[in-house]
Amino acid sequence: MSNKFFQPDRSKYPSMKDDGTLDVDLSSQKYTKIWLGPNHPGVTGNMAVEMTLGGDEIVQAKTHVGYLHRGFEKLIERRLFVQGFPTSIRMCVAEPDTNEYLIARSTEELSGLTDRVPEMAEWLRTLALEMARLQGLLRGVPGQAGTYSLGIGVQWGVYLRDLILDRFEELTGARVYHMYIIPGGVRGLLPSGFKRRMEDNLTDIDDFIVRIRKLIFHNSVFKSRAVGSAVIPKEWIDKFGIVGTNARASGVKRDVRKDNPYLKYSELDFDPPTATDGDVYSRTWVRWQELVQTVDLIRQIMAKMPEKGDIRGDMPNALHWKIPKGETYVKLESGRGEYGMYYVTDGSSKPRRVNLRGPSYTHAIAVLEKMLINTNIADVHATMVSLQTCPPEIER
């Protein structure tokens, strides 16, 4: 809607209706319809945007999802509680650990066993979630620069992300899908020397943070294209259900870690960064500050967590576990915003219903479709990446 590349002479463009859509007559042959995706380097994940163009401006946009649909929620309904874990983590590749925590916490809460999770496990869960956020930001922050052809930052970020995946591998045995957080706690303690190796990686990331700041925020191309582009006005936040960094970049300070503290976040010292302009530049700036903050949080966690302790409380036999009838909604703050799970049980050994609430559900459809109207076609990728859209969490 708000775009500085907006052509000042509107006489040749369709007029806007009261509902914010444009009055487009496709039979007039003045418009071109093209598809962006589902496979395209500028698209986050496999998602397509059906665009109708008037000149080089978008006059209509429709998001199409379904290219990744594997029926995860349905499959989980037909499996034992513990069998839901390997399926659930694939609902969001960007930060799979978030799904582990949600499903573990839901089953613990509905069984009335939340107090059995040992303190050490709570710290390790917090560490795993922050490591997941860090590896996501190491892709996301330079990825935004990549949409404006500043590709070198992406290469730096991917290298450093791999180092964090190395730490995940030694902690959990796996690089991407960890299944580390399980009902009752976690699967293992920190390996010997883990903290030292993590500190080495964080030192490298400190250096990257300085370099990526110069690459992005001191760059005239990035500034001239990102400032004032794809603005989310403050009044859109509740109207569209916008969350996370997208909301904070528009001046609305919401963060589940602060608003409804879970795990050990109430014992950590941090203040979620915000901005006011709500454009691509602000969202990238907020994410860059989150990168700095996440590194600090991991250091705080490693300093405050005990050296030893139980990592898993007594839980029912996973093969014979039945949970009484009930329902809950558990949420956390992922790198993209509020990430929640509605979990319903019926007294049997399998969940009755599992419904994931990912931030992209609104960001990639209602918000993106509205935002792209009157946007220049060259800015579509940057807009989409700046919203951190993740299609798997839409189609589950």
Partner 1 sequence: MKSLIERVSTKYNLQEVVQQRDNLVFAYVDKELAIDMVTYMRDYEGYAHFTLMSCVDWIEDGKFQLLYLLNNPETKTEFGIKVAIDRDNAVMQSAHHLWEQIWTYQRELKEAFGIDFPGSPRVDEDFVVEGWDDMPHMRRDFDTNKYAEETYFMREGRKSYDPATYMREKLYPKQPVTAKKNKDEQ
> Which positions touch partner 1 (CB under 8 A)?
64-66, 69, 71, 73-75, 78, 109, 238-241, 254, 259-260, 326-329, 338, 340, 342, 344, 352-353, 355, 357, 361-362, 365-367, 370, 394-395
Supply the minimum distance, in Å, between the C-beta of residue 142 and partner 1. 29
Under 8 Å between Cβ of 52 and 26? yes
Supply the minimum distance, in Å, between the C-beta of residue 89 and partner 1. 19
Residue closer to partner 1, measured from CB, 154 or 252 = 252
* Site of tokens 């990592």: 311
Peptide bond before residue 118 is cis, with ω within 30 degrees of 0: no
Coil vs helix vs strand at 242: coil
Residue closer to partner 1, measured from CB, 208 or 361 = 361
Residue closer to partner 1, measured from CB, 147 or 360 = 360
Backbone angles phi, psi at 321, to 5 degrees: -85, 120
User: 298 is written with which tokens?
Assistant: 């991991």
Supply the minimum distance, in Å, between the C-beta of residue 78 and partner 1. 7
Residue closer to partner 1, measured from CB, 220 or 317 = 317
Q: H/E element holding 64?
A: strand 57-64
Give the separation between CA 100 and CA 114, rounded to whole angstroms: 15
Supply the minimum distance, in Å, between the C-beta of residue 77 and partner 1. 8
Supply the minimum distance, in Å, between the C-beta of residue 278 and partner 1. 16
Give the separation between CA 131 and CA 123, rounded to whole angstroms: 12
Residue 252: other Cβ atoms inside 10 A = 19
Instruction: Collect all residues with Cβ–Cβ distance below 8 Å to 179 and sequence separation of at least 6.
Output: 85, 86, 89, 100, 172, 187
Residue closer to partner 1, measured from CB, 142 or 392 = 392
Supply the minimum distance, in Å, between the C-beta of residue 350 and partner 1. 11
Residue closer to partner 1, measured from CB, 130 or 255 = 255
Residue closer to partner 1, measured from CB, 137 or 237 = 237
Under 8 Å between Cβ of 290 and 273? yes
Under 8 Å between Cβ of 381 and 345? no
Supply the minimum distance, in Å, between the C-beta of residue 252 and partner 1. 8
Give the separation between CA 200 and CA 138, rounded to whole angstroms: 16
* Site of tokens 């190796």: 197
Residue closer to partner 1, measured from CB, 255 or 379 = 255
Instruction: Give, as one character, the DSSP assignment of residue 174.
Output: -
How far is C-alpha 1 from the geometric centre of its chain's CA atoms? 24
* Site of tokens 């879970």: 262
Supply the minimum distance, in Å, between the C-beta of residue 248 and partner 1. 13
